[in-house]
Amino acid sequence: MSQESNNLSVYHQDVLGRFAQARAAGSYGEALIWVGTAAILDSPAARVDPHSAVNTALFQLVYDSAAASEALVLKCGNATTTHGDLIGYGLEAIDLLVSRLDDQAADGAHALAVFLQGHFNSLFEKLGRHFDRDRQYLITTGAEAKLLLDTTRIISRSLAEHQSIKVESTTNWVQRAVLLQICLDSPDYEVLGFPLRFLSNYDKSLFFIEGAQLLLAEFKIHPEVFIDGRLDATVTPLEAALAESHLLTASKSNLAKASYLRLRQLGSLLPASLKR
């Protein structure tokens, strides 16, 4: 190997190492800089290989940006400028992948990248006004929050479930339980009692209830994270309570607000049911 080739290999490994460090710290903007640098240093063969180190890192960054965006909207119920940053990182990464891969790429990697690129662009088209730091703050509707949640889940799950493209899931079940508790607590703040009932935001309350249902479904398919025998005792009553709250909230029933106390009580039992 020539000295120049050896130096190039060292530089390449160095910037990929810096990408990994930035990603581990949750600094996705910095991670994007380093993986972009590694992409410039890549060989022609590696650029078109969907499983090369750089392309694997790019797919990972796309996954991370979508997963972080999903968690954030479940936590706050709003499309924010931070979402704009996260989704912007994912879009830059997927644009780079589309430019590197051709339609002959193995395992349908190019088609997957184009599919994900469309979802990122759709988010900016429909929610870009919420991402713009120079614009006045706008209230996020329940429908907009749901669009953001659904789209980011499509992106992350399309990657996580792909048979060939491998991404690392960063799921922490204790953190997921905290996020579920936030969703269970939040409807109570969106629906007001008499005499301010007319100010209630039932759509946003439904968003949090449906978010809790999605999170609970994740726990159901991972019984190994529960202490033996705790899954059914914890999840089944909470599942029933969420279904009841959803029905009452969708119909704007006077009983909806009272049902949220039950959600909060049952949600408080979940962390104690999980393995540490």
pTM of the entire predicted model: 0.93
Q: Examine the domain organization and report whether 131 and 252 are in the same domain.
A: no
Question: What does the pLDDT read at residue 134?
Answer: 82
Q: Examine the domain organization and report whether 75 and 189 are in the same domain.
A: no
Residue 4 has pLDDT above 60, yes or no: no
pLDDT digits (tens, 9 = 90+) for 218-262: 999 988 989 887 888 889 999 999 999 999 999 999 999 999 999
Lowest-confidence region among 28-32, 45-49, 218-222, 228-232: 228-232
Cα dist. 113→77, 110, 127 in Å? Answer: 28, 5, 21
Give the chain's length: 276
CA-nearest of 11, 21, 7, 54 to 35 is: 54
Q: Examine the domain organization and report whether 186 and 53 are in the same domain.
A: no
Q: Which domain holds residue 40?
A: 3-160
Question: What does the pLDDT read at residue 93?
Answer: 98
Q: Which of 160, 194, 213 is the last residue of a domain?
A: 160
CB atoms within 10 A of CB 40: 9
pLDDT digits (tens, 9 = 90+) for 69-121: 999 999 999 999 999 999 999 999 999 999 999 887 777 899 999 999 999 99
Q: Examine the domain organization and report whether 135 and 33 are in the same domain.
A: yes
Q: If you average pLDDT over residues 38-62, what whole number do you get? A: 94
Q: Examine the domain organization and report whether 18 and 129 are in the same domain.
A: yes
Q: Examine the domain organization and report whether 52 and 141 are in the same domain.
A: yes
Q: Examine the domain organization and report whether 205 and 261 are in the same domain.
A: yes
CB atoms within 10 A of CB 88: 18
